Amino acid sequence: MSDHRFNPPPRVTLEDLLRLKRTERPPAEFWIQFERELQQKQLAALVERKAWWHELAAFYSRYGRVRAPLGATAILALTLFSIRYYSHSEQDPRLLLATGPGGQPAARMAVRMHDQARPVVVAAAVRERASVEQAPASNGKSTASRVAAIYQAPAGEVPGFIPWVGDVMQNQAGASGLTTSVRSIAVNLITASVTDADLAEALARPHGFEERAVPSAHPQHTAEMLPTAAAAAEPRRARLLAALGSAGAFAPEPSAPEHARRSVNQYLAQDGWDRSMGRLEAEGDRLSIKF
């Protein structure tokens, strides 16, 4: 009989089995190769250029103790800068691009937005439209220069070619300058009152797509032909105004949304739009017209 019967095999646990894994060891020659490869990789790593964020990480780890206050200061500074920047940009003069019929931007003008809303009586201004229509012919100034004069007018002064604004100003007790609404209305009325020749020239000027697609277009041909056309003036004028409106020649109310500007342009393009006007209200820098 063997001893096996009297000596049962020792108990084998999971821990014993797992300990067997420790015996899985690489041979000695493995480490020679390992060493050689590691040296090559180390040299390659030394030669390799580090990215800039590695330096940043090293900097932060070096100054680990001040990391939190440093980060908090950076965030605070960024927040303060953002607040200051945006509040400053709201108060700053806003650049407005007015396009003249000459094909080039008429002028880049700084329009100071009024901080306080002031009551404006614009009804008188609308009624004075007829006098505005005659103004360009009388003083002989171009539309572009008149538009520029409106925006560059100093506080308290009103350009002479828009006499109706003088009435408006008289109605504004203590007013020191033109409001944004008055300026916008004045620019639109001046644009609407340009001559057919100016309109044709403005339309012949390439707008966007035409400028890119047809770079060799000669706008002067259209400018010469349209004024000499014998067709009835008023319907054509309406069409030209509508086209000019859609081309963005009118100076829009800065705060008016796109669809509002579009509908205003459409109404302005119709004959006798001022007669169909039902209600006109002005409050501060806002003007609401109901047709």
Binding positions for other proteins, rule: CB under 8 A: 4, 9-27, 30-31, 34, 37-38, 41-42, 45, 57-58, 61-62, 64
How far is the first Cα of the chain from the last one, in angstroms, to the nearest whole number?
120
Q: Supply the DSSP string of 38-103, one letter for each residue.
A: HHHHHHHHHHSPPPHHHHHHHHHHHTGGGHHHHHHHHHHHHHHHHHHHHHHHHHSPEEEEEE-TTS
Least CB distance to other proteins at residue 70 (A): 16
Q: Is 195 left (phi over 0), alpha (psi -120 to 50) or beta?
A: beta
Report residue 229 CA to chain centroid gap: 40
Comparison of 32 and 229: residue with beta carbon closer to other proteins: 32
Least CB distance to other proteins at residue 67 (A): 12
Comparison of 37 and 90: residue with beta carbon closer to other proteins: 37
Comparison of 21 and 212: residue with beta carbon closer to other proteins: 21
Q: Are 254 and 227 in contact (CB under 8 A)?
A: no
Least CB distance to other proteins at residue 30 (A): 7
94: closest CA among 183, 12, 10?
183
Least CB distance to other proteins at residue 23 (A): 4
Comparison of 27 and 215: residue with beta carbon closer to other proteins: 27
Least CB distance to other proteins at residue 31 (A): 7
Comparison of 27 and 140: residue with beta carbon closer to other proteins: 27
